[in-house]
Structure 1
């Protein structure tokens, strides 16, 4: 979220069915949001076209651009599922900040979302974005380190380390790419539900859990259509699934990979299972052709999640920046 003070700007809704307007909106939103950041991912044109070409039926999406003298200088977006907080993004190009454009976009978002959400959440990586959100009545709900692992990694060195040898005796890790195999889907659903309950969210409102098998399958289909290859692993303590991990590879833009969730069941922590999962999935990643051109893997870890921070750093991850997630009540006008 980036900020501004007061100058006239035309706020124009974007029709997601208008290909040219949709891609221009996505480009401006990403340019403002990622300005000055290292190795910052943004959705590719193919991904954004697929996303809005097959929208979730129950989701309200709001797309806005700010125009000044005929030039697009900012953009905003919001997605809200029934009963959940609205996820909003506001972005102003660096050369047009502090001119009221962000404020105008925020007001238009509030007006459009009225009656559809009671709470809004926004993400930013900048102090300016935090200040803007605080000035609009939001509060910091959670913060996470964004960590980067430079590629290629020396997998032989990682796998040959003494830590790897000692990790998780008796644990079997099953890995695959793409949709979850049918014989593993119930375990995946159970652990995904646990992750939704366990993931550190600070003071943020949690969305409703959505890890039923049918929802997982629909999500897999959507992600595949948007160009994502899912690289996944499950850890088993004979007969019982005790942890999972996944990496996302975008086939249209594989430069930055995302290490997403890693969960180990509370009763089995402290045995090296998280490390075993991540090492096995790095090996699994080596079989994905698109990943050969990747330069980084990024991951997010709560500031106070000391065990996961230590694990990620032992694998070679370094801190890039801090993600702040802010929340506030939707206020009209």
Structure 2
């Protein structure tokens, strides 16, 4: 069998970058339903204006001159490196993935101590385990078919006649960057989300959601083509929860339902339900969302309250994400 050749991809060379991204996505998403991957426009914007101090590794695997796999790794100072390894189905179990993994580790040495990798298959878990990684966290990936019948959802989630009255929940919704009047509350709640989100046995990254960090993230998301669809809930004037979805204007087929947080002291009062209903209504005002076919979200298996709520909204299981972690070595 011919030798696998690993080469570095120069992210400043547009054609090479987009070919690498396409190959990485083709192998990573092979056989999966409604699997999102970054568009050409988003990829160009991401690597055209990289985050300060971020280390990125882009690798291409070829055999006899033909591309057979790709790998990528991104690392911020002091954080675990996020690694993706992808091999085209026809070239698996021929040493391509192992060669890519060795090359990734070689380039990360001295820059990172810990690496994390994601997979959606048991074969991927088995491969990562042979590299010395261990499964640290799993999440269900769920899909909601759109358009959604909001009237039916409102009727389904209406409080039954005669039920005890609930606290008055006020929800404010918008698209894009946070209005100045809510940015402090948003930063506080997103910091809480970073601290509370289940990560199993994975190394937890440092919290970044101060006001300046939120503004930097909003600008980068906008530059990469993302439309932010957001709602914030208040009880008795205090912000107690939020939710957000991301719509990519370059490739809006799959909408990402990202965080939904309810402050622990205010759970069980319908805040999460009110947020999700309001934000789906908010989504109706986004022109690009009319081209969408699915909303995608992730929920940990032991987060039973959120799994129950998501399924009540019509989300169904698509596959399972496993995140593995190990030392760079």
- From 4, 8, 28, give the equivalent of 2:3: 8
- What are structure 2's unaligned runs of at least 5 residues? none
The 5 Å alignment of 1:116-265 reads 116-163=111-158, 169-265=167-263
Is the Cα contact below 8 Å between 2:136 and 2:323 reproduced in 1?
yes
Are the structure 2 counterparts of residues 68 and 244 from structure 1 closer, same or farther at C-alpha, using a change threshold of 3 Å?
A: same
The residue that corresponds to 1:89 in the other structure is 84
CA distance in 2, matches of 1:113, 1:164: 54
SS in 2 for 1:160: helix
TM-score, normalised to structure 1, is 0.96
In 2, Cα distance between the equivalents of 1:159 and 1:175? Answer: 17
Q: Secondary structure at the match of 2:182?
A: helix
The match for 2:288 among 273, 287, 290 is 290
Query: Does the aligned pair in 2 maintain the 1:168–1:276 contact within 8 Å?
Result: no
Q: What residue in structure 1 maps to residue 21 of structure 2?
A: 26
Tell me the TM-score normalized by structure 2: 0.97
- Residues 23, 186 of structure 1: alpha-carbon distance in 2 compared, 3 angstrom cutoff: same
**How far apart are 1:209 and its partner, in Å?**
0.7
Moved over 4 A (4+): 164-168
Aligned match of 2:297: 299
- Given that 1:7 and 1:100 are in contact with CA atoms closer than 8 Å, whether structure 2 keeps it comes out as no
1:183-242 CA deviation, whole Å, 9 max, x = no partner?
100000000000001000000000111101111101101100100000001000122100
2:136 and 2:202 in contact (8 A); partners too: yes
1:73 aligns with 2:73: no
Q: In the aligned structure 2, how far is the partner of 1:249 from the partner of 1:174?
A: 19
Return the alpha-carbon distance in structure 2 between the equivalents of residues 162 and 133 of structure 1.
Answer: 42
Q: Tell me, in whole angstroms, the C-alpha distance in 2 between the residues paired with 1:40 and 1:49.
A: 20
Distance (whole Å) between structure 2 residues aligned to residue 254 and residue 168 of structure 1 = 36
Question: Do the aligned residues in 1 keep the contact of 2:2 with 2:64 (CA within 8 Å)?
Answer: no
Report Cα offsets for 1:82-132 as digits up to 9, x if no partner.
Answer: 000000000000000011000000000000000111100000001111011
1:140-166, CA deviations, whole angstroms, 9 ceiling, x for partnerless residues?
A: 000000000001110011112244677
110, 114, 133: which one aligns with 2:109? 114
**Per-residue deviation at 1:173?**
0.5
Contact 1:48–1:226 (CA<8 Å) still a contact in 2?
A: yes
> Does structure 2 retain, via aligned residues, the 8 Å contact 1:142–1:324?
yes
Q: Alignment partner for residue 34 of structure 2, among 27, 36, 39?
A: 39
Q: Which digits, 9 at most, give the CA deviation of each residue in 1:283-333, with x for residues without a partner?
A: 0000000000100000000011100000000000000000000000111xx
State how far apart, in whole Å, the 2-side matches of 1:296 and 1:289 are. Answer: 15
